[in-house]
Chain A
Amino acid sequence: MKVRKSITTILYHVFIAALGFIMVYPVLWMISGSLKDNSEILSGSLNLIPPNWRWDNFSRGWAGFGKITFTTYFKNSLIITTIATLGTVISSSLIAYALSRIPFRGRKFWFTLMIGTMLLPGQVVMIPQYLIYNRIGWVGTPLPLIVPHFFGAPFFIYMMMQFMAGIPRELDEAAIIDGCSKYSVFSKVIFPLLKPSLISTIIIQFYWKWDDYMGPMLYLGKPASYTVSIAVKLFADATSKTDYGAMFAMSTLSMIPVFLIFLIFNRYLVDGISTSGLKG
């Protein structure tokens, strides 16, 4: 009985680990591709260890396109992603606080409207939004990629409201008796307690924004303002022969910020997604 049980356990682990390896194989293949030469990449070999290590892929890739290096692309991506993420966290938490704690006229109406926009996918509003930004002269600037984040993101507002429902109202009341205004209740009581929810927001918003391709493609005009996701795609668009080694080298680098954030906050992320999902 005991032997049979341990055999099933071993089979289980072998199966799960093998399947997991197949799952991450494309990523590993990309990383190893960043160190192979073009002919090795195109040969369709399963090999993950490069026959000769081509570190020059990275320097060739980093050189970028037309005198603009990846230093610029990474800087652009970091600026847009960081400001947009900060904007999302601040505005969404404020809105969530108002909608869940402060009684005001039309609260239910605004809440329903917000949930409604959550069900509206970005691609449906792509064209009308583009027309509006065009009218106010923002097309060709990074503003459409940043400014909207300062007006709250429904998905995160809803997630934070779910979390706030678990913070006892007695805490607010006690703070008010102690002389706190509505604003200091938020900054001194609610905001610090919201930490787990804020962390999930930061992570999810960060990697959505970092990986975003459609937004930068629609709105960024000048090559000097391109983000990493646009720049990586440029390798494939090149009219001459594609430099696969350089393309994979930069693809690998483009994933590092997301990997780092995932490694550091892994536990929070998994918890955040599961709970926000369940209550949705």
Chain B
Amino acid sequence: MIEKENWIGLANYVNLFKDPRFLNSIRVTLQYVVLSVPLKLAFALFIAFLLTRPSKAVSFYRSLYYLPSLIGGSVAVALVWKELFARKGLINSILGDLGIHAINWFGNMSTAKWPIILMTVWQFGSSMLIFAAGLKEIPTSYYEAAKIDGANGWQSFWKITMPCLSPIILFNLIMQLISSFMVFTQAFVITQGGPNDATMYYALYVYKQGIQTRNMGYASAMSWVMLVIMSVVTAIVFKTSNHWVFKESEG
């Protein structure tokens, strides 16, 4: 059972910043966020853009691409993922056919993060749907006018699509930032934080300290620090958004 709490002042916070495992968990979590979020959003935007074509098959394709997001949070998919990247798993056998040496994905500190990042990117479906809805809102007359002025596809993408879509990019960015800071189930099922803490993400470490080791005060302090880190990151994104989010009035 949990012991009665004693008032210990700021000791938990002082200890936190002396704890190398805690500092490591911040580092690997930031690394995960920085690698997975942009990849996921780029992919979501790319597919959403491809699916703007007027075609009867588009809604079928959209469901197809949404499917991973629908089931991706489940334990079942995480277990499948673990087998795909196993030593003699499917991914290694494909790499073998391409003449690349088999990789011990989960045995290596530098490679263990990639299956988890790929799994996150794979679930780009809901960001894609939101992008798709945003793309539909851009008036076609903008593109027609640009075409008359001699703009090619690439130019109209950067000068029309991206600015018009920037508020939605901001929304998706914030949503994905918040959720990827909290990565838990995939890492818990697939790597258990290993090897050697290479995927010991923040939420996983909170769980380990709080529920498994019964260090409740320490884990609560970690939760607070997490909230501060997330607020700071979100605030920074909002601040910079003044420079890249397009507002109608400033046209």
Contact = CB atoms under 8 A, between A and B. Distances in A.
A26 B80 contact: yes
Interface stretch (B32-40, B144-152, B206-214, B243-251): B206-214
Contacts of B75: 211, 213, 229-230, 232-233, 251
B8 interface: no
**Secondary structure at chain B's binding surface: helix, strand, loop or mixed?**
helix
Contacts of B236: none
B206 A45 contact: no
Interface in A234-270: 235-236, 244, 247-248, 250-252, 254-255, 258-259, 262, 266, 270
A279 to B, nearest CB: 10
A193 to B, nearest CB: 22
A71 B62 CA distance: 34
Nearest to B62: A270
B80 A248 contact: yes
A257 to B, nearest CB: 11
Contacts of A258: 70-71, 74
Given A23-B67, A134-B2, A273-B129, A121 B182 contact: yes
A262 B92 CA distance: 32
A225 to B, nearest CB: 17
B89 interface: yes
Interface string B49-84: 011010101010111111110110111110111111
A44 B90 contact: yes
A211 B129 contact: no
Top-3 shortest CB links A-B:
A251-B76, A274-B133, A44-B93
Given A122-B182, A124-B227, A278-B133, 16 more contacts: A20-B64, A23-B122, A27-B68, A27-B80, A44-B89, A127-B210, A127-B216, A131-B2, A229-B75, A233-B75, A233-B189, A244-B83, A255-B71, A262-B70, A275-B133, A277-B171
